[in-house]
Structure 1
Amino acid sequence: MHPTTVTRMFQPTKKMWSPVPKEEHSAHTISQRLRQWKKIPPELVPLGMVVGVAVGFAIYSLGRKLVVDKQMRLSRQNRKD
């Protein structure tokens, strides 16, 4: 007896018969994560440094503005309860 279309729909495909490949990001140790840093292309390292410095300066200037500027209204004033 040949399988009909309906029974063929419930059979696993050939891809499902093969073993499941090991997941790339499953339970890495610290040394395995450090080895992944070597996979970063060298062209992206200066770009990452520039972006990191820019984000650092942005955080610094925002924090300085919040602390130093006395005209900035950080809390409610003239509240009538």
Structure 2
Amino acid sequence: MSLLRARATPMLRAHAQNTLRGFRQGGKKMMPMPKEEHAAHTISQRLRSLKKIPPELIPIGVVLFAAVFAAFYSLLRKFWVDKTLRLHRTGPSGDH
């Protein structure tokens, strides 16, 4: 019986070490991420990166730009043209 225990104990220790090995810190270090091939630093490089935009998205961009432009135009025109717009808070007497 003691012979069996002597043989089983080293196997159990080896098994315990293998299971704990997955929890060890260290080992393989993280490699730094490679930089993009064309990181946009200058205007010309930024313009070159516009070629990567899929052609299917260009009409959506045009429509979105037109909608935002029209919204800003109508908002600014409303502020400029509308004379009944309340620009100041009226006080308790109503004349201020």
Instruction: Map 1:26-37 onto structure 2 (within 5 A).
Output: 28-30=40-42, 31-37=44-50
CA shift for structure 1 position 74 = 1.7
Identity within the alignment, %? 45
Matched, 1:38 2:56: no
- Alignment partner, residue 9 of structure 1: 24
Match of 1:65 in 2: 78
Name 2:34's counterpart in structure 1.
22
Q: Is the 8 A contact 2:40 2:49 kept in 1?
A: no
The alpha carbon displacement at 1:8 in A equals 5.1
Point out where structure 1 has 5 or more consecutive residues left out of the alignment: none
Count of paired positions: 75
Runs of at least 4 residues off by over 3 Å = none
Deviation sequence 1:51-71 (CA, Å, 0-9, x none)? 101110100000111111111
Larger Rg: 2
Worse-matched range after superposition: 28-37 or 71-80: 71-80
TM-score (norm 2): 0.60
